[in-house]
Structure 1
């Protein structure tokens, strides 16, 4: 009886450790708590492109000697908004969404893709990055990629989910899409950029023309 009890304890311990490793490797990030502008600012690379090829490739071994697989997307870069001087020709991601892998379609669809550069110069993406079909972006988002987002990289965007909600410094913009619209990416995410003003304070800007040196907190086209 003692042996059986000990055996059950050991088995449960092994199962717990195994499940712990599985959970540790599961995809977890706050991608839905980050404004597209913040993703632009924190990414190494931001491009517009489409997939022209896809294959599974080996990416070395893990600490236990097991092979690591990656999905390699061959990319036709249409425009680079941020990144290295050379065009991005391939993007790598994990093989499944369970470990933050991204599925891109090879059907001519164009994407806005943000990602990180590895030490070897390759671009890698996860579900935590901001990746959207190009046609689903608003005109403001498309225009902001060339100037406005970069102008606000010194600002802080704070997601407001409940009242009271307030800024802690002048260099901060309140993101209220979830509070007002019950959407992660609502009007502010689609039609506004948080831009630093001449006095180093930050405010939401909306407009089709480049921001003037001085502008109100919310400026219409």
Structure 2
């Protein structure tokens, strides 16, 4: 069950007067990428609100009209997506977008492509060159790795599938320029996982085939 669905059920169970703010667990951008069904660069061109129940103000659905520019994940699920859905209220993780280009990630629900505040969503022009390269060439490859957040030192990987993350306090919300948000955990040609270093040119075996089976 998605975080958005859980938040909606919680909202309905406690009633309008007792609603709490949306709460999202911290996550590295790559983790958010890997847990999303679709990740894309898209331009928001329109917006409308569908009121699902007149007796529950604010419980509507925002529908954004979009133009897909580039797809990073979910190539087989994109199916000519032209709309993005989100909850109207931010208290149940609804997302407010302006007209313009965004990095959007989310899940496929019965009503369509659904996004929430807990997904990886950023204005495209706020992403650094390194982050854009990670989206195109590294995150998908690293989805077979695990990013492990270490709170107590010493921090040593217990298996070759781990990338250790110690700078966990700056994960969420997004902070421009924070190095942890620029990093990518990739699987190397020897089978181990490790943080990609910009100064080290990946070998031919470390390049990514962006196509999906």
Flag structure 1 segments of 5+ consecutive residues without an equivalent: 1-17, 216-221
Give how far 1:76 is off: 1.5
Per the TM alignment, residue 85 of structure 1 is displaced from its structure 2 partner at its CA by: 4.3
Q: Which residue of 2 aligns with 1:29?
A: 24
- Aligned residue in 2 for 1:14: none
> Shift in Å at residue 20 of structure 1?
4.2
Are 1:148 and 2:149 counterparts?
A: no
CA distance in structure 2 between the aligned counterparts of 1:133 and 1:208, rounded to whole angstroms: 27
1:183 aligns with 2:170: yes
CA deviation string 1:83-124 (max 9, x = no partner): 224332110001111010001012xx311011101135x100
Q: Is the 8 A contact 1:197 1:213 kept in 2?
A: no
Aligned length: 185
SS at match of 2:65: strand
Q: CA separation of 1:54/1:214 partners in 2, compared to 1, >3 Å: closer, same or farther?
A: closer
Q: CA deviation at 1:199?
A: 3.3
1:122-153 Cα shifts (integer Å, max 9, x gaps): 10001100101111112121112122111110
Q: Do residues 98 (structure 1) and 91 (structure 2) align?
A: yes
Measure, in 1, the Cα distance between the counterparts of 2:187 and 2:23.
31
Cα contact 1:54–1:71 (8 A) shared by 2 = yes
So what's the TM-score if we normalise by structure 2?
A: 0.75
| Cα distance in 2 for residues equivalent to 1:92 and 1:210 | 39
Structure 2 portions without partners, runs of 5+: 1-11, 207-213
Cα distance change on mapping 1:66 and 1:136 into 2, 3 Å:
closer
- Using CA pairs below 8 Å that are at least 6 residues apart, which structure has the higher relative contact order? 2
Structure 1 residues 21, 163: CA separation in 2 closer, same or farther (over 3 Å shift)? farther
Q: Which of 113, 119, 127 lines up with 1:123 in the alignment?
A: 113
Alpha carbons 2:170, 2:180 under 8 Å: kept: no
Change (3 A) 1:116 1:19: closer
Which residue does the alignment assign to 1:10? none
User: Could you tell me which residue of structure 1 aligns to residue 159 of structure 2?
Assistant: 169
Equivalent residue of 2:130, what SS? helix
Q: Which has the larger radius of gyration?
A: 1
CA distance in 1, matches of 2:110, 2:202: 36
